[in-house]
């Protein structure tokens, strides 16, 4: 839990400090007042990166550096951003130790719920892949490293494909083997996640919707889920010529997806607006639960202007799960949110 935060030259903030409650915090102010910037700062302090911008966009305009400081119940955390050429050099200080990247054990678990999440079921497969992988990074200690390694190997293979005239089959095969090994590990983790979602989603959705509903999550891949690495290697070898023509790798976890069935019908085709919001709400609550079990600590919950996207019933369903979590909710209308928490909340006004 974070007890206070100071933002210097961060986004729209010159130098501002906030005292934070350990329960529900309602960040209120008009549009462009810095609400989401504050939420973003909390996430960066927790896991080291922004959900909506690159590092060079985080430093206040024409300033050479930015800094975030926070106290937690267990110590102190600092993030420093220093302009360097066209980029930004980022470093972290946790209890007087310096890091260039936050490893698994140094991150604080956090769950974000923001309006763009409503595109999860109807949007591109990349959104769903990122959802799976971001969640796995918070629950599996080595997943972040495997994910980065896969991206590097994929980039190298694609680079060779683009230089087809100077690339031999043998050169490509070396990268095929490595990609298949890493891809198999990613797919195995994802399939376990899908299994965990299937164990919880139907009951939770039915509770929120107040009607019995069958939810099924399926992992969607051209490769066999039973022996993914071997299947992927065969796919890569069989599609080599086509990949050379296209200039990119056509099979692997970077092309996979997951599908949600609502009473045996694809949610992307059949789910109404209300059903989509109930699905997403259930998914976020399951996300909270999975992270809490894996990390043995409660995640911090960030809600960026989502109360306005939910009706009364779904707002009530959400608030029932917030009592035991430190939560930050941004809104332009505090009255809409406060009524769900009576006097058990902290109001944080922004007028930046």
Strands 97-99 and 87-94: antiparallel
Give rounded-to-5 percent helix, strand, coil for the chain: 50, 25, 30
Q: Which domains occur in the chain, in start order?
A: 1-109+306-352 (3.40.50.300), 118-296 (1.20.1050.90)
Task: Give the SS3 label for residue 239.
Answer: coil
Rounded Cα distance between 23 and 341, Å, is 10
What is the C-alpha to C-alpha distance for residues 324 and 174, in angstroms, rounded to an integer? Answer: 50
Give CA 89 to chain center in angstroms. Answer: 22
Rounded distance between C-alpha atoms, residue 294 and residue 143, angstroms = 13
pLDDT in tens, the chain (352 residues): 899 999 999 999 999 999 999 999 999 998 888 999 999 999 999 999 999 999 999 999 999 999 999 999 889 999 999 999 888 999 999 988 999 999 899 999 999 998 889 899 999 999 999 999 999 999 999 999 999 999 999 999 999 999 878 877 888 999 999 999 999 999 999 999 999 999 999 999 998 888 899 999 999 999 998 899 999 999 999 999 999 999 999 999 999 999 999 999 999 888 888 889 899 999 999 999 999 999 999 999 999 988 777 877 788 888 887 778 999 999 888 777 877 776 678 999 998 7
Q: How far apart, in Å, are the Cα atoms of 223 and each of 151, 173, 333?
A: 18, 18, 48
Q: 69 by DSSP, 3-state: which?
A: strand
Q: What per-residue confidence (pLDDT) applies to 63?
A: 94
Distance (Å, rounded) from C-alpha 113 to C-alpha 43? 12
Nearest to 301 by CA among 326, 338, 334: 326
> What six digits make up the tokens of 222?
């051209």
Q: Where are the alpha helices (DSSP H) in the chain?
A: 35-47, 125-139, 143-162, 169-209, 228-238, 240-246, 267-270, 273-295, 312-320, 334-338
What is d(CA 164, CA 142) in angstroms, rounded to the nearest whole number? 34
Q: What secondary structure letter does DSSP report for 305?
A: S
- Supply the pLDDT for residue 342: 62
Q: What is the pLDDT of residue 49?
A: 93
- What is the CB-side half-sphere exposure of residue 100 using CA atoms within 13 A? 2
Place of tokens 């190997």: 153
Residue 133 near residue 80 (C-beta atoms within 8 A): no
Q: Which residues, 6 or more positions from 151, have their beta carbon under 8 angstroms from its beta carbon?
A: none
Find, among 63, 48, 219, the residue nearest to 134 by Cα.
48
Six-digit token pair at 315? 């707002």
CB-CB contact of 198 with 258 (8 Å) = no
Q: In what order do the strands lie in the sheet with 215-220?
A: 215-220, 257-262, 265-266
């Amino acid at each position: 839990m974070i007890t206070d935060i100071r933002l210097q030259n961060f986004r729209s903030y010159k130098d501002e400090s906030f005292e934070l409650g350990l329960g529900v915090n309602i960040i209120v102010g008009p549009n462009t007042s810095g609400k989401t910037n504050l939420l973003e700062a909390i996430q960066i302090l927790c896991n080291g990166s922004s959900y909506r911008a690159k590092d060079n966009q985080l430093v206040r305009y024409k300033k050479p550096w930015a800094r975030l400081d926070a106290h937690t119940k267990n110590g102190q955390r600092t993030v420093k951003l220093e302009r360097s050429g066209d980029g930004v050099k980022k470093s972290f200080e946790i209890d007087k130790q310096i890091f260039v990247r936050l490893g698994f054990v140094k991150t604080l678990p956090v769950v974000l719920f923001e309006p763009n999440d409503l595109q999860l079921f109807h949007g591109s497969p990349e959104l769903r892949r990122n959802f799976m992988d971001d969640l796995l990074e918070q629950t599996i200690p080595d997943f972040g490293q495997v994910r980065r390694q896969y991206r590097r190997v994929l980039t190298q293979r694609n680079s060779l494909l683009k230089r087809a005239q100077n690339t031999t089959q043998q050169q490509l095969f070396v990268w095929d083997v490595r990609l298949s090994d890493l891809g198999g590990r990613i797919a195995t983790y994802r399939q376990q996640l899908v299994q965990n979602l299937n164990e919880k989603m139907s009951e939770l959705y039915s509770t929120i919707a107040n009607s019995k509903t069958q939810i099924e999550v399926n992992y969607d891949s051209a490769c066999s889920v039973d022996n993914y690495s071997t299947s992927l290697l065969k796919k890569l070898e069989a599609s080599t010529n086509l990949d050379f023509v296209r200039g990119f790798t056509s099979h692997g976890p970077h092309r996979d997806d997951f599908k949600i069935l609502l009473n045996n019908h694809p949610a992307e085709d059949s789910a109404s607006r209300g059903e989509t919001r109930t699905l997403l709400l259930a998914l976020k609550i399951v996300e909270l639960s999975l992270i809490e079990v894996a990390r043995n600590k409660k995640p911090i919950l960030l809600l960026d202007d989502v109360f306005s996207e939910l009706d009364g019933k779904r707002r009530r369903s959400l608030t029932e799960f917030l009592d035991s979590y430190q939560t930050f909710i941004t809104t332009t209308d505090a009255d809409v949110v406060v009524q769900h928490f009576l006097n058990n909340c902290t109001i944080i006004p922004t007028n930046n």
